[in-house]
Chain A
Amino acid sequence: AQSVTQLDSHVSVSEGTPVLLRCNYSSSYSPSLFWYVQHPNKGLQLLLKYTSAATLVKGINGFEAEFKKSETSFHLTKPSAHMSDAAEYFCVVSDLRSPEKLTFGTGTRLTIIP
């Protein structure tokens, strides 16, 4: 079975400082990994995805994530936080055996301090 662990339920950073949201996954088959963002009262939006191509994936709004198989990690980073980045972030995994079933992490709430 596949699973995702988001190591921090809440992260606070100051505006202009780096962001790191941690995610570890477990999958018996070749995983696909995603990060989604959910702003208050809005739908989930795809930030970026890894599907066995380049291990460093660049997404929208300056976010990127690196797939590290040896560490089973897919941490989300951004060099400089902006106030508009405040939201809930979900790490998501699917695998070749059940490609259409997404397994979501419990989410990390990112707060930006002015």
Chain B
Amino acid sequence: GAGVSQSPSNKVTEKGKDVELRCDPISGHTALYWYRQRLGQGLEFLIYFQGNSAPDKSGLPSDRFSAERTGESVSTLTIQRTQQEDSAVYLCASSLSTGGQVYGYTFGSGTRLTVV
């Protein structure tokens, strides 16, 4: 597609439920990133996929968070047993190969997650 697409755009869930967030990167972008943006704060790195290499999961805040990517396309971020502190905007970004530093990263519009 023309840009990075994320769904849903908004999600309200009850505490303790599991949620799945989806990201469709730009076609041809082999690198895909997930970030979290809490209210009034900058973005926190969560996880990074590059082609078929093992993902860099060093930013995941707890074992309730996991992410998968199918080849070089769609990625899903799963949060199990959601807590109120998980409420944030979850942003996905993609870039050409490992060229984010050169080409820049294209961000989606995010999924706003609210845990009640």
Are A100 and B98 interface neighbours, CB within 8 A? yes
Are A46 and B101 interface neighbours, CB within 8 A? no
Are A100 and B56 interface neighbours, CB within 8 A? yes
Contact with A along B29-66 (1 / 0, CB 8 A): 00101010000111111001010000010010000000
Using C-beta atoms within 8 Å of the partner chain, give the interface range for chain A.
Answer: 20 to 34
CB contact list, B1-45 vs A, under 8 A: 3-4, 31, 33, 35, 40-45
Contacts A/B (CB < 8 Å), 19 sampled: A42-B109, A43-B4, A43-B108, A44-B91, A44-B107, A45-B107, A46-B105, A46-B106, A51-B101, A94-B100, A99-B98, A99-B101, A100-B33, A103-B45, A104-B35, A104-B42, A104-B44, A107-B41, A107-B42
- What is the interface of chain B, defined by CB distance below 8 A to chain A? 3-4, 31, 33, 35, 40-45, 48, 50, 56, 59, 91, 93, 98, 100-102, 104-110
